[in-house]
Amino acid sequence: MHSSTKRFPNGPFMIYQYYQEIKDYNFSEDQILVFGCHELGKHYSGYAQTALHHFGAKLGQGEGRQGQSYGIPTIAKNGEVLDLNLIQNYINNFKQYAKSNPHLEFYLTEIGCGFANFSLNQIGPLFKDSPTNIYFPRSFVPFLEDLTVFSVEDIEHVWKADDTHIELPLNTGTTVRLKLDHQHRLNMQPNVWERINTNQNIQYLTLNEQQFNQLDQAIENFRKEEALLFSELM
């Protein structure tokens, strides 16, 4: 693996491949950046612009392989957002291309979730049945995998957090952890929790949606109280 990406280790029940982040743009020759684009190849923003400047994307070309990048149109020729069924057709073309080129690794970005304004739960499932040489952002996990749903009693009071993770207890005597980004609210992050088994295998779970929202609100309330207390001490 090249240093340009940090992969997300698959648990024993994971079907697809994931990466944690794109650290830089120094991809090796067999790594391809996959980005959402305009049908007419107007690569002026987001990862389309990144692909233009760093990965060989070509102005005027929308769909397909371009240098070390591959474009999947999400914006129509007239500038309107494409319907999901049309995006699905472009995605199917991409999946076939990836399948036909097993020697390449394709790093998909969150296509359609920027200017096109789709949500991950709309875009993610369109990539089911993808070949294993496509690497997805970690945020796609809940929409591609059949994760076990769990719940926690008294969730608003039993959570713990440090600078990097939130931790919840399970009634089995173990805990689950979620990587925390303090720049965003919890409900803007993937609902994917890690459980470390006794044999050190990682199992990925998803928290009951209602409880996920409860926990998000509890953490937000705590942050507000903490900020208020700090301001009173100043």
Q: pLDDT tens for residues 65-93?
A: 999 999 999 999 999 999 999 999 999 99
pTM score of the predicted model: 0.75
H helix and E strand count, the chain:
6, 13
Band of pLDDT at residue 190, cut at 50, 70 and 90: confident
Q: What is the largest CA-CA distance in the chain?
A: 63
Q: Could you give the residue ranges of the DSSP H alpha helices within 116-166?
A: 120-123, 141-144, 155-158
User: What are 151-184's pLDDT values in tens digits?
Assistant: 999 999 999 998 889 999 997 778 999 988 777 7
Q: Which domains does the chain have, with CATH numbers?
A: 5-144 (3.40.220.10), 148-233 (no CATH)
pLDDT band at 198 (very low <50, low <70, confident <90, very high): low
Amino acid at residue number 159: W
* Other Cβ atoms closer than 10 A to 157: 7
Place of tokens 């007419």: 40
Residue 18 three-state SS: strand
